[in-house]
Amino acid sequence: MNELVKASIDSRHQSFFAAYDIKDENILKKIEELFKRIEEFGAGCIDSADFEMKFASSPLNQEYIDLFTLVAQTSEAKTIEHTENHVKSDAEYLADEVASDVRYVADDLTMPARRKARQEVYDKARDIPVLGEAMTAKQHFDFFSRFKKHKD
């Protein structure tokens, strides 16, 4: 059986037990019998898309829905704890926007000074006898290597 088909069937099977605390042995037996037939059905499918398309129009799908409805009516739903997702307020969005604008303006205002400092360091490094020659050699190597043909 295709792994994606198996994963699809397993997720349907686990959905019963993830959502409900099923204690009735009769219902548990019905679930297992249904999924044996669904697995046999899935074995004849090429891939997940093929399985989903065929399963949607299959009577097994209606049995699955009916069984899920029975479980929902007769079994107790499990309490699922949700982690609280913090949704930002308008004030928090505004504060983030202002902080972003301040960072952008600060970066823009300091750009000329940073460029000048970087250029001064570069110029001083080029004046050092051995380092300056190495930097010049690297610059020439990089320039001429752009013209080299790359073999595929």
pLDDT digits (tens, 9 = 90+) for 103-112: 888 888 888 8
Residue 96 has pLDDT above 60, yes or no: yes
Say if residue 70 is in the same domain as residue 113.
no
pTM summary value: 0.52
Residue 90 lies inside a defined structural domain of this protein = no
Average pLDDT over residues 47-56: 87
pLDDT of residue 28: 92
Confirm if 35 and 13 have CB atoms less than 8 A apart. yes
68 in the same domain as 8: yes
Residue 87 lies in a domain: no
Note the pLDDT of residue 36.
Answer: 95
The per-residue pLDDT of the chain, averaged, comes to: 86
The last residue of a domain, from among 60, 77, 94: 77
Contacts of 149 (CB under 8 A, 6+ apart): none
Q: Does 12 share its domain with 58?
A: yes
Q: Which residue did the predictor score with more confidence, 100 or 83? A: 100
Q: In the listed set 77, 100, 124, which residue is the last one of a domain according to the structure? A: 77
- Phi first, then psi, for residue 44 (nearest 5°) are -90, 5
Residue at 126 is within a domain? yes
Res 51 pLDDT > 90 = no
Summarize the confidence of residues 121-126 as an average pLDDT.
86
Domain count, the chain: 2
Q: The domain containing residue 112 runs over which residues?
A: 108-152
Residue 38: its pLDDT value, please? 92
Structure tokens at 30: 């019905």
114 and 66 within one domain: no
d(CA 101, CA 95): 10
